[in-house]
Structure 1
Amino acid sequence: MPTSTSARPMTPPTVWLARGHYAGPAPEDVLRRHVQQLKDRGVIRDWLELPAAEDAPERVYEARWETGEAVTVRARLSLARGRAGQREWVLAAEAEAVWDPRWPSPVSMFWPDEPDATWDHEAETGAELRFRDVNPLPPDDKELRRVLRDAARSGWSVHFVVHEAMTPDARGRLPLARLLPPGLRHRVVEHRAAPHQLRAVNWALRDSGVQVPRGGAVVLPGAPAPEGYDGDAFAVRSVFLDGSEPAELIEALSRFAASARALPDGAEAVLTALREDWHLLTLEEELARERALVKMYAEALEAMTRSRDLYREAAERAHEALTAYRESAAALPEPPAREQAQEAPAGSPLQQLTRTLERLKVGGRARRPREEQAFGAGHGQNGPGDADGDAPTD
């Protein structure tokens, strides 16, 4: 079963996300021509291509329109070079209210919704899957498992598998995506399992915790899966491939798309760019942005001024404290000189005897040099001339 993704940021209910790749030539020209036609017809209010160099790895387009309920939608499409020279596109749209699947698809505001258009290739699984067409599962079991494993881990698109209980006629071979609400039509990938592939399909999906009923369909969990996803709750027991509207399947797909899901990998940066790097502003929005910038700069300047004043006040208080300390130190009187000889406190008799002996010893040492000096002066000393033994004369 899919693991919990509670730590990841959740997809806001006002946001619509899609990702694919363009397989035809000159996608920039196709996009510019289509968007300008919609503006001329009043379908969209305005659009903008952000300036970029000719060899830039990515081009960004913005568009703004209103739904039939007067809800403004802002959308941003980035077109980059993908693997094998393909042009990958990522689209993020955000409305001023909770997204209604009955609103026009944001994809149709950038790409022409024509049968021969080549923008509708799914970009996550690496297989040649298309949003607006039926995608038969590969006959090879190994390739079938790979496709379903990648589809069950898809985060940007909604994948579902339909089992053909019997080979359908021409009406049953038409894609079911054409019957979905516009807001789901370009986010859904339809896989078809032939009648004999049911066992192989359910074997490939066993790790995803879902099973395809015979003659029915199931919505794959994706990664991240919706909170509390249960495969049985998104399984449809019967899907009649006779051209009629599969109401139960549409309800399951709509419920899955509206469920709380964490943002897919890479979508957080895309959503941040839509919200914070938006350039297609109305005059009112430009004024509001300038006022917000002025307010932000004023608050920053006020904070800097407050910090400067606090620093200056602290420095002045420190200087005053140092001055007061020096003045108080200069006013203190000189400490009295210590007496060189201090009367020793009376100690024990043993200590007194010890001091007396020390004084006698010191006194004896002092008298001995004086006695020797006196003795020499009274009797004389032999000098170098006395070596011959001459006695002194009277």
Structure 2
Amino acid sequence: MAHAAPGLAPYASRPEESRGRLVPEAESETRSAFQRDRDRIIHSTAFRRLEYKTQVFVNHEGDHYRTRLTHSIEVAQIARSLARALGLNEDLAEAVALGHDLGHTPFGHAGEEALDAAMAPFGGFSHNDQTFRVLTMLERRYAAFDGLNLTWETLEGTVKHNGPLPAGAAPPTIAAFDRVLPLELGGWPGAEAQVAALADDIAYNNHDIDDGLRAGLFTLEDLADVPLAGPVFALVTRAHPGIEPSRLIHEGVRRMIDRMANDLLAETRQRLAELAPRSVDDIRAAGRPVVGFSEAMRTHDRALKAFLFQRMYRHYRVNRMASKARRVVRDLFGLLVDEPNCLPTDWQAQAEGPRTARTARVVADYVAGMTDRFALDEHTRLFDVHART
């Protein structure tokens, strides 16, 4: 059954025109190809695990900070809203948004840094490549194939989440897949994927400000001179004198998200008017992104990132958490790659022997799939001589 979505712009991705899946499947009678992609991601084991994988704070530091799961849902909400306003395919934008973080390690960027360093003798580690491994190999739920067998468009949007991949720059798993089903790695993806990527930026910056304020890593006064954030919080304070701090924070963050989203819509509509694309292929052939912020907002975005880097990501409390996280990941990888017979039985079956490249890759897949909580428990089981195994 064809699933032509009403009200789509000429340059939107259309599921009935999808380039298909690696393993051909019959179409659903009730859902479009992109809806099925979204649903497969939501039902995946890796997606459920995001509930206990953190953004900045280790999971047990508090119940109200963002996790990879809440972040992914928030990115998907922003992406859907932007896609709808631009006449794009909401289901594809949502699928890319929901799947973009599936390859993240436990403990956020600290965990990834530690795993990348441990994997250096074996080709390194990238969460983008790991996400692709999850989507195409590691999820083992379906009888006919490994992975989720997503459409070409969803996979394209996922691998190009940070833009085109120049020749020779693709990580190993993506490069190998591209030889079988070419993803046109050197070009920009469709507009839905571009929307999902910038929705990630909008959500990440604003919600880290929210979490950082509530964690006491910095104050509203510290934000006073930060572009966008300072003026917005000052405006809320003037409009609502005496407002309690929690409402002030939420109202300010809400308004910042709104300003960034509206700026993106205005700038993108201007770019689309200049390009006048008649198909999604015109978007890919443009040679530059068609979805983006204005120059002024890009400046604000850089200022927010710089502030968060100095005042949040390098705060001593975050540094301490990151230090512990790196030690846990380093310890787990080192022991398991030296003694793969300590891996669970099904993972042992995939390994070869101590410190081989294949064993290192299996251990990296195992460790990367852990939640914060499971990684801490596994570390206790393996290193505390009094712990039950």
Q: TM-score, normalised by structure 1?
A: 0.21
Q: TM-score, normalised by structure 2?
A: 0.21
Choose 1 or 2 for highest CA Rg.
Answer: 1
More helix by share: 2
More strand by share: 1
If asked which structure has higher relative contact order (CA below 8 Å, sep 6+), I would say: 2
